[in-house]
Structure 1
Amino acid sequence: MVDLIHGDDAAAVNALRSAVMRLSRRLKHQRVDESLSPTEMSVLGTLARCGSATPGELARKEHVQPPSMTRIVTLLEGKGLVKLEPHPDDRRQKVVTGTERAAAMLEESRRKRNAFLAGLVEGLDEDEWAKLREAAPVLEKLAHL
């Protein structure tokens, strides 16, 4: 389908890409802990959404190589944001779980980013805000395809 997009649709795709990237960059600046990389925050978010996982499972979900995930998990463990426990079925593996500190940090991050977006939304008229509310589930679907 991508090869078939021309004219107005191609312009819309380009505008969507550009807007999503700019908004994403602005949201990334709304960080609670500047010592964590975006990848580290993403791993904590994945653990919060999906529950405990092995480093290999996390690497697949985050689209990074397993050795990179091992380094990330080690850094997060050193910061007290994850704990490692023996795998219940395979003692050669570990299971990574987010800590209460990580959950509190993620909640504060969500609160700060939501407040930032709410401030932006105040600049929209009611029609624009209604369209954005309707688009949110579609954008969510795109994010997970």
Structure 2
Amino acid sequence: MTYAHDMPTPEKAVRTDAGLASELRLSVMRLRRRLAAERHPDNPLSMGQLALLGALYRNGDQSVGELAARERVQPPSMTRTINCLADGGYVERRSHPSDGRQVVVALTDEGRAVLLADRARRDEWLSRRLAGLSAEERDVLRRATPILQRLAEAD
């Protein structure tokens, strides 16, 4: 029989890579859910649709294939998402500047406005939470942010 006092504490668990992976996964997923909950109630877009708008905002016009690869989904799934966003006026399709056979997807003014309003609302919530941390804790997060980014982008 295992008793509660025999179970590793979170402090002990993160001493191993497996324990760190488990605690980090849980923390990141909880934070993601909390940030998702901070979306504006009038925003009709899913988190996946907002991620697509964010990719276009950061990287400019892209083909369906480029967007699918970046978001790690199959091209038919990306096409469905783009069709939905185009129907709502958030993106538009344009001719590729150097290859007339290709189409690129571009962010519209409406798409940019919805994305930036959503980001501002969630950034405001997170800024309020960060303000409650010590300077040392905020410094740890500043140093961890590029590492988390690398983990997110790793193949």
TM over 0.5: yes
Identity %: 42
Displacement, 1:135? 1.4
Flag as ranges the 4+ runs of structure 1 deviating above 6 A: none
CA apart distance, 1:34: 3.4
Pairing 1:66-105 to 2, within 5 Å after superposition: 66-105=75-114
User: Partner of 2:104: helix, strand, or coil?
Assistant: strand
- 1:60-110, Cα deviation, whole Å (9 max, x unpaired): 111111111111111111111111112234333211100111112221112
Match of 2:118 among 109, 116, 125: 109
What TM-score results when the alignment is normalised by the length of structure 1? 0.86
Q: Report whether the alignment pairs 1:125 with 2:140.
A: no
The one-letter code sitting in structure 2 at the alignment partner of 1:55 is: V
From 15, 22, 41, the equivalent of 2:30 is 22
In 2 relative to 1, CA 66–9 (structure 1 residues): closer, same or farther, beyond 3 Å? closer
1:45 alignment partner AA:
G
CA contact (8 A) 2:91 2:105 kept: yes
The higher radius of gyration belongs to: 2
Q: 1:8 aligns with which of 13, 16, 24?
A: 16
Q: Mind listing any 5+ residue stretches in structure 2 that lack a counterpart?
A: 1-13
1:144 paired to 2:153: yes
3-state DSSP of counterpart to 2:67: helix
What displacement does 1:130 show?
2.0
When the two chains are superposed, the root-mean-square deviation of aligned CA atoms in Å is 1.8
Provide the aligned length of Structure 1 versus Structure 2. 140
Q: How far, CA to CA, are the matches of 1:17 and 1:115 in structure 2?
A: 24
